[in-house]
Each structure stands twice: as structure tokens, then as C-alpha cells.
Amino acid sequence: MRRYFGRKLLVYGLTFLVAVTVNWMIPRFMPGDPVQSMLSRANVSQPAAVEAMRAHYTALFGLDLPLWQQYLNFWAALFRGDLGISIWVFPTPVTDLIMRAVPYTLALLIPSILLSWWAGNRFGAFAARRKWLDNTALPIGYVLTATPYMWLAILLAWGLGVVAGIFPVSGGYSFAMRPNWSWEFIGNLALHWFLPFASLFLVAFGGWAIGMRNMIIYELEADYSTYLASLGAPRRLIRRYAFRNAVLPQITGLALQLGVLVAGALVTEIVFSYPGLGHLILKAIQNQDFFLLQGAFLFIVVGVLIANFVIDIVYVLVDPRTRIGMGGEAT
Amino acid sequence: MTAVPARRREGLYFAIRNGKLLAGLAVLVPLLLLAAAAPLIGGQDPNAYVAAPASPPSAQSWFGTTMFGQDVFSQFVYGLRSTFVVGALGGGLAAIIGMTIGFTAGYRGGLVDEVLNMLTNIVLVLPALAVLLIVNAYLGVRSVGVQALFIGLTSWPWAARAIRAQTFSLRSRDFVDLARLSGVRTWKIIAREIAPNMNSYLFMTFILLFGGSILIAASLDFIGLGPSQGISLGLMLNNAARWSALHLGMWWWFIPPGAGITAIVGALYVMNVGLDEVFNPRLREL
Amino acid sequence: MTLSVRDLRVHYRTLRGEVKALDGVGFDVADGEILGLAGESGCGKTTLGKSLIRMDGRMRLAGGTAELDGEELPLGEDRRMNRFRFGKVSLIPQYSMSAMNPTRKIGKMVGELLASRGERLDLVELERRLDLVELPRDVLGRYPIELSGGMKQRMVMVISTLLDPSLLIADEITSALDVSTQKAVARTLVEFRDRGFVRSMIFITHDISLTYQIADTIMVMYAGKLAEKAPAGVIVSEPRHPYTRMLISSLPEVGVRHAERRLSGIPGRPPSLLDPPSGCRFRDRCPLAFERCAEEPPPVEVAPGHHVACWKA
């Protein structure tokens, strides 16, 4: 057990190291003077801001220091939670902007991931080896999973938002409102939340349903299923066992899909101008705000790593074989 | 050795009777032809201003025009082109990297495997789109080719992992042992003994990488980090969203590009399942 | 009379047409009898075993009946057959190593299986049987992965016979084991019969010498048909069918395992069952063949309990 988690943590640690290093390297090894090119790209009109930014960048990059020291300083700043100052909303610290955006992104991601995973698995298992459903519902699943997240988002926004006028299509809450804890505001939040959530949910749902359907077919053909059937066990029991075993690779699949799901959330937020990380990234790109972009990048990497670790723990809890393999004589 | 042609014939028999495979091809082939014929039917420059702006589909412009009077159909066929290119190049590159690493790790084992496995796992947990965001934002992407290169470099890990596992199980088979004992060089064993035994698997891996590359490219284009020259389906969506096609009700601007991507990727996925049924007798339903 | 099979015909659906894997086989298995079923691979012995308990998706019942304890088995109807499975007819499969659900504790799996069939788990009896096959009682709290190959084999044997079936089908259960384990498994099966855990048994194997050690009667099949059936001693000492004779004489020595492949001692190969030739199917390989063999020889009882399908017998 310790060895298993040790290995995992080593991989995650190294990944974080790689991510930070990439983040540090890219502006430095780009052709040209990073400070100058940033300032000219930033296109900020206030002279005070330009000067402040130049001073800030030069200090931050520490270009006169030897490379290894620049690298260490970069890490030190990171551990202080200092990701730099935003250019787009100068002079707000990047960390603050990200912290404001993260709750919105999580509010979209966590429910849509968990619900789509649960519902997709249920549905896929149900449809497998039932001819009629398999032939009608699964093509829909394929279309859903092949749909680019932003396109489904656009279609929903257009159909249910612009044309039908049921849901708002822009923002996290109405512009006329100030954030507060009233029911009215929460209802307004939920109304704005629904369409982005639904489009994320639908695309992911298709993928899980198909994955489970293909997985459970293998399990229903497995020796243990045949043996149970030979002993006259009802289909219900066989399917229950097959489902349980087919869910295991789906848990691994969840870890593998995290990156794609996060990417989906980013573009969906852009469609709906939903004030999460995706919206922030769009603004960062449009305003050439590289500190913000890099901060968001690191934040996403850390989030994905944490989620991966949580999934590892869940997997060990669910699959007895890993426990036994790791426990050695303990069991 | 009569078994191999017989098996191949059996594969073909199932292939031409597999509904999923045929349906996938029926969608894919026309789109491919359309993309190939883009210069013939889409005019010379898809971004040229050729007609009245913001007009709905008509006999002159089948898919209508953009805010600026560009022909949506023309953009669509050229966009299909970039989509196929990005899929083929990005997916192809990812497949090559995945195969190289997967074969090497699976066949050599030991320390080489440990190191490559670690590398694979690291790239695997790094969210590809986030990395591409940073790289594209800093370096800038001018052409579809460069975009495909970056995508290929980041999307190979799961393929490497899957191929490694397959290689691992083939490595200890008799025929591989025999080749090894008779002094055949490592890469030759991989090319002649191992790879042919997982041909179908490799092909299906490529198909999935192809589809994946298309989706990633579309997301990047949509965020605004696509190629700065030419047109792509993702870029069309980006333009449509940026110029409020949604609120202006210009559905003809944003429906074709998304539908094109969905059709291509969906067809690829469905074909993949069809191929799985063709190659894997256990999945065939009689 | 426990089992009585009449003119059983089972076909396999394949691309090239229907393979007549079982083409009119009839025999009886008496109370307490162990019937050894032998023959080359592809002779139909596994098909026979499968069709008596559960046909796979490609198999089709083309005719014939099977009666167990006076009740007719609905062989071709998967659903109706469920009532007989486990309690009346049970199976020890070829794939014992992977027959148990890898993610359930064995005891829990057994309990759920019994519950799904409306049976109660008699823990005392189960533990008694575990003791008998020398499995520690705590295997019930373990996952299959924690058991060795031999332990899994014995566990499956115990599970399959838990409801004291009238008929047990043991399909090539020894082919993956070494010689000493094979013998132990064979002895256990005999003991199961002697203790009444199973009433009668069909023991399918390509290894005629192993069959001889445990079977009361041996039935030799060839190309989907019965060639010869007689008490074990008679088959070995006075075989009447030329195929059986060649089979016995091609055995290197009793106890030496025979590889699962076409018998090298008999030249030629069995005919295709896609479109089997008329007349005796062994004709082309038979040294004694004469004109009459163009007609199909019916199984004839040449001595009490000794059936042979050959004009020369």
C-alpha cells in the first residue's frame, strides 16, 4: 500500500516539477527580450502602469542573476503564493483573480463529472446486450461524445437561451445583481449555472455510457459470467457482477479523462462568459496577460493532480485485488 | 501458414457486413472528398469577402455568409481540410511516439521500462490542453502543421501505455522467444514478430488519436490560439462566437463547423467499435 | 436410469454453414455411474458436455432428447433449462482458474449464488466439504486471487457439487494440471460420487488412460458419433471398434499423458463435420474398411453393456 501510493506521489511530484519548470522556462528561452516583448504586447496605455510593470517584471525575472538562482527564486515566489500581478486588471495579484474564479469552475466541473460518470455507467450497462437500446441509444452516445464541448454549449445557448428564452446565456449571475446570500441571488446563480452544466454533463455522459457498454460486454463474456450462467444464476446477478468489474476500468478512465473534462469546462465557460477559469484564460490571452495565463495553468495542473490522487485512493478502496497485491502478508 | 489469409478473408467478410464500420465510412468518405475538393468548390480564398454580409443560406451561398460577407460553405470545406490535416498529422505523430515508447518499454522491460513509464505517467497526468495553452500563447502558432506538431507531442501517453501492455503480453510468446534465440535484432523482432500481431490494435489506436487531435485542435482554435493563417472549423466557431452570431440568430454560421467536427469524430469512433467487432470474434453478435 | 440421451444432434453456426458437431448420439448413464467420454479433439465430446447444461450462443439443438431422472431436459431453451442447472445438472468447467468472480470474496459469492437460486447456504456442510478437499475454512473470506491454482480447482469442485446434483459434467478439468494433481482430482471426483455429493458423472477428457482410472464405463466418440461404449476394463482389454483399438494401442504407456492433438499413431484426419460423408465416418482411416462401410453402421449391443458402431465388430 505504502509502495503504491509512494510511486503515485512520486509521479505527481515530478509532474508538478515539470509543470513549474516549463512555466519558468518558456518566457526565458523564448527568442527576444521577455520584458520588452511583454510590455509591448500588453498594450497598456497608462504610463504609470507601464513603469510599475517594467520594474515588477525585471525584479521578478531577475534577469541579471544566474539561471539557477532565477529558478530557485521562482520556486520561492511560488511557495509564497505569489504568481505575479495581472496585466489585465492591473495591479490585482493573479492569485486573487484565480481564487475568485475557481469556485465557479468547480461548481461546474464537480457535479457534471460525478453525475455524468454515474449516469453514463448506469445507462451504458443497461443498454449493453439489449438489442433495441444498443442500436438506438448508443449512436446518440457516440454523437454526444464526439461533439466538441463548445459546440454543444453554443447549441444549447442558442436553442434554450436565445430562441426559447428559458435560460440566460451569459455570465454567472445577472449584471443587475450584487452577490449576496439571498434566495433570489442563489436562484439566479442556479439559472445561469444550468446550461453550462448541462452541456458539460451531456458530452461526458455519452463518453461514459459508451465506455461502460463496451467494457461490460467483455465482462459478460468472461469465464466467471459463463460459470454463473451454467449454474443457472439469473441474469440480474451476472449483470451485477459484470457491472462491478466493468466499473473498475471506468474509474481509471475517469483519471485519464480529467484533462479533457477540464478543457471542456474551459471552453464551455467561454461560450457562456461564465466567470470561471476558462473565462479568465480567454481574457488573459486576449490581453496578453501572461502572468495570469501561467497562474491559471499551474492552478489547473495542481487541481488535476489532486483529483488524480483522490481517484487513486478510491480505486484502492473499490478493487480488492490492488489491496491484496499491495498488502503482502498483511492479509 | 494457411491460417493467416483465411483469417484475413474472414476479417474482410465481417468488415463488409459490419454496420458500424460501414456507417462510419459512409459519413467519413464524403466529407473527405469534400475536403479534398476544397479548392475546386470553395473558391481560392475562404476568407475573401464575396457576398452581402450576414445573409442566410441561399442559392448563391449555400451555407450563408458571415458578418463580413465571407462564404460559410467555402470556409467549411477549407475548414474540413485543416481538420483532417490536424487529425492525420497530430494523430500520426502521437501514434509514432506512442508506438516507439510503448514498444521499447514493453519489450525491453527493466530500467528502460521504469524510466519510460515514469515519463509516460508524467505526460499523462499533465492536462494536455493547459500545456498547449501556454506553449501556443508564448510561441504563437502560424500554421495547421505547427499546431498538429504540438498536439502530437502532448497526446501520445495513453497510447504508449496501451501498446506497452500489449507488447508485454506478446513478449514472452514462443515465436518471439524463438526469434530472440536465433539472434534477430531487437527492432526487427518488434517490427516482424510483435507489431504484426497487434496490427488491428495499432490501427484502432491511431483512429482514436486522430479523433482526439481534432477535438483538441478545435478547442484551441476556439479559445483563440489556433493557426493565425487560413481557416479551420474551430476558428469558424471562434469567429461566430466572437461576433455574437448567437445573439444575432445567425445559426448558419455556427452550426456547420460544429456539425462537421462532430460528424468526423463521431464517424471515427463508430468505425473504431466496428473494427473492434471485426477483429475480435468474441464481440460479434450472430 | 439417471440420464438417457437419444439421438442428440447439436449444430454450430459458422460462417461457412452449420457444423454438425453432434450428429445423433444416444447413450445411458446409470445411477452412480461415472461415464468417461474420450476421443480426439473435435469429436464432439465437449459439445455433448455443454449441450447437457448450457449451450453457447453459436450452438443450436437440431434434434434429440435427454431425460434426467425421468424428466425431459429442455436443452434448447436457455431459460427453461435454468431450473435444472446446479441442482440437477452441474458443471465443473475447463476454466476453473478463472471461474470465480475476481472481486467478490468466495464465501460471499457462493452465498449470493445460492440465494439467487432460492437456496440457503448450509455453512456446516460447506465447511465439511472444504475439509474433505483439504481447503482451509478461511478460503471463504478470501478473494480468488489469493488462492493457488490447485486450490481454485478444488474450490470450484466444491461449489459445483454443493446442491448434490444428479448429474455432474466434468469437462477437461485435468488438462491444465500436472500428473500427480490430476490423480488427486480424479480421486476426489470418485470420492464425491461415493459420498453421494453427485449421483452420476460424465468425465470428459482426451486422456484415455486417466479416464480408465476413474470411469466405470468409457464411451469413445468419433466425428460427432458414438464409436464404442463399454465398461472401462472391456474398452481397454478387448476393444471392438478399429478406432478404439488404434486409440488404445497408440497410448505410449498407461499413465503417460497424451498431448491434445491428432493422434500421430492413426494416419489421416477426421472428416469435416460441415458436410460429413455418408457411411462410416472412420472409413478413410480404417485399415479394415470394406464395401459395406459405405452404409452407416448403427450402434449394436455386442455384449451386455457393450455398444459398437462398426460392421466388423
In contact, B211 and B227? CB cutoff 8 Å: no
Query: Average pLDDT, stretch C253-271?
Result: 55
- CA torsion B161-B166-B170-B171 (nearest 10°) is 0
Q: What mean pLDDT is predicted for residues C266-291?
A: 81
List, in order, residues 6 or more apart from C282 with CB less than 8 Å away: C222, C223, C227, C241, C242, C243, C289, C310
Q: Are C168 and C85 in contact (CB under 8 A)?
A: no
Q: Does B276 touch chain A (CB under 8 A)?
A: yes
Which of C13, C15, C58 is nearest residue B10 as measured by Cβ atoms? Answer: C15
Residue B12 resides in a domain: no
Q: What torsion do the CA atoms of C172, C173, C178, C181 make, to the nearest 10 degrees?
A: -140
Tell me how close the Cα of C59 comes to any Cα of chain B, in angstroms: 11
Distance separating alpha carbons of residues C220 and C234, to the nearest angstrom: 12
User: What is the average pLDDT value for chain C, to the nearest integer?
Assistant: 86
Which residue does chain B place closest to A288, by CA atoms? B137
Which residues from C are below 8 Å from A228, CB to CB? 101, 113
Residue C265 has pLDDT above 80, yes or no: no
Cβ neighbours of A229 in C, within 8 Å: 54
Q: Kindly state whether residue B7 falls inside one of the protein's structural domains.
A: no
pLDDT at A177 over 80: no
B-interface mutation test, from A261, A297, A301, A312, most B Cβ less than 10 A away: A297
CB spacing of C103 vs A230 below 8 angstroms? no
pLDDT value at position A228? 94
Q: What is the pLDDT of residues B149-186, one digit of tens each?
A: 999 999 999 999 889 988 888 887 777 878 877 778 88
Q: How many CB pairs lie under 8 A apart between chains A and C?
A: 75
What pLDDT sits at residue B8?
A: 62
Q: Tell me the mean pLDDT in the region C92-101.
A: 90
Q: Which residues contact C188 (CB under 8 A, 6 or more apart)?
A: C133, C154, C157
Taking the Cβ of residue B178 and every Cβ of chain A, the question of whether any pair is shorter than 8 Å is answered with no
What share of chain C has pLDDT > 70, as a percent? 94
Q: What pLDDT, on the 0 to 100 scale, is given for residue C262? A: 43
Size of interface B-C (CB pairs under 8 A): 5
| Cα B19 versus chain centre, distance | 22
Residues of A in contact with C102 (CB under 8 A): 224, 245, 321
Which has more pLDDT, C183 or C202?
C202
pLDDT at C159: 94
A138, pLDDT greater than 60: yes
Question: What's chain A's average pLDDT?
Answer: 84
Structure confidence at residue C193 (pLDDT):
92
3-class DSSP assignment, residue C266: coil
Of B264, B189, B166, C292, whose CA–CA distance to A146 is shortest? B264
**From CA B60, how far away is CA B51, in angstroms rounded?**
9
pTM for the whole structure: 0.85
Residues written for chain C: 313
Q: Is B143 inside a domain boundary?
A: yes
Structure confidence at residue B64 (pLDDT): 80
Chains sharing 3 or more CB pairs under 8 A with chain B: A, C
Residues of B in contact with A308 (CB under 8 A): 125
Q: What crossing angle do the helices spanning B128-139 and A277-286 adopt, rounded to 10°?
A: 10
**Residues B93/B152, Cβ–Cβ less than 8 Å:** yes
Express each pLDDT in B77-126 by its tens digit.
Answer: 999 999 999 999 999 999 999 999 999 988 888 888 889 988 998 888 88
Instruction: Please check whether residue C258 is in contact with residue C206, taking contact to mean a CB–CB distance below 8 angstroms.
Output: yes
pLDDT tens-digit profile of B13-46?
A: 777 778 888 999 999 999 999 988 878 887 777 7
Q: How far apart are the first and last CA of chain B?
A: 27
Q: What is the mean pLDDT of residues A180-203?
A: 89
Model pLDDT for residues C144-160, shown as the tens digit of each residue? 988 888 889 899 999 99
Q: Answer whether B247 touches A (CB < 8 Å).
A: yes
Phi, psi of A76 (to 5 degrees): -60, -45
Nearest CA to A172 out of A150, A191, A148, A158 is that of: A191
Q: Nearest CA to A85 among A54, A106, A62?
A: A54
Chain C within 8 Å of A321 (Cβ-Cβ)? Answer: yes
C100 touches chain A (CB under 8 A): yes
pLDDT digits (tens, 9 = 90+) for A2-16: 777 888 888 899 999
How much of chain B exceeds pLDDT 90, in percent? 28
Averaged over C21-47, what is the pLDDT? 89
**Partners of residue C160 in chain A, C-beta under 8 Å:** 231
State the Cα angle at C98 between C97 and C103, rounded to 5°.
125
Kindly report, residue by residue over A46-75, the tens digit of the pLDDT. Answer: 666 777 777 766 666 666 677 788 888 888
Instruction: Evaluate whether residue B56 is within a structural domain.
Output: no
Calculate the alpha carbon distances from A141 to A146, A252, C75 in Å.
Answer: 9, 20, 38
How much is the pLDDT for B219? 92
Q: Flag whether pLDDT at C258 surpasses 60.
A: no
| pLDDT at residue C282, rounded to an integer | 87
What is chain B's mean pLDDT, rounded? 84
For A215-233, what is the mean pLDDT?
A: 91
Q: Which residues of A145-170 are buried (b: 16+ CB within 10 A; e: fewer)?
A: bbbbbbbbbbbbbbebbeeeeebbbe
What domain range includes position B253?
Answer: 17-38+66-283
Measured torsion, CA atoms of residues B87, B92, B94, B98, in degrees rounded to the nearest 10: 150
Confidence of residue A243 (pLDDT cuts 50, 70, 90): very high
Nearest chain A residue (CA) to B237: A151
Name which of B110-114, B224-228, C2-6 the model is least confident about.
Answer: B224-228
- Contact B10/C at CB under 8 A: yes
Q: What is the DSSP string of C202-243?
A: EEE-S-HHHHHHH-SEEEEEETTEEEEEEEHHHHHHS--SHH
Q: Is B202 within a domain?
A: yes
Select the residue of A30, A214, A267 nearest B222 (Cβ to Cβ): A267
Task: With CA atoms as reference, report the closest residue to A269 among C170, B12, B219, C281.
Answer: B219
Which of A129, A216, A226, A227 is the best substitution to test chain C (most C C-beta atoms within 10 A)? A227
* B238 Cα to chain A: minimum distance (Å): 9
pLDDT recorded at residue A330? 33
DSSP B201-240: HHHHHHHHHHHHHHHHHHHHHHHT-S-SSS--HHHHHHHH
3-state helix, strand, coil in chain C (%, to 5): 30, 25, 45
- Cβ separation A162–B247 shorter than 8 A: yes
Task: Note whether residue B175 is domain-resident.
Answer: yes
3-state secondary structure of C178: coil
Chains that touch C (3 or more CB pairs under 8 A): A, B
At A320 the pLDDT is: 79
Yes or no, beta carbons of B286 and C13 under 8 Å apart: yes
Nearest to C100 among A224, A236, A331 (CB): A224
**Dihedral pair phi/psi, residue C217, rounded to 5°:** -130, 145
Q: How many domains does chain B have?
A: 1
Looking at residue B230, what is its pLDDT?
Answer: 80
ipTM: 0.90
Whether B58 is covered by a domain: the verdict is no
Report the pLDDT value the prediction gives residue A59, as an integer from 0 to 100.
66
Instruction: Write down the pLDDT at residue A202.
Output: 94
The C-alpha of C31 sits at a distance from chain A's nearest C-alpha, in angstroms, of: 22
Q: Does C57 touch chain B (CB under 8 A)?
A: yes
Between β-strands C34-38 and C200-204, what pairing exists: parallel, antiparallel or unpaired?
Answer: parallel
Residue B5 domain-assigned? no
| Residues of chain B positioned with their CB less than 8 A from the CB of C60 | none
**All cell numbers assigned to B159:** 497510447
Here the CATH number for the domain that contains residue B95 is 1.10.3720.10
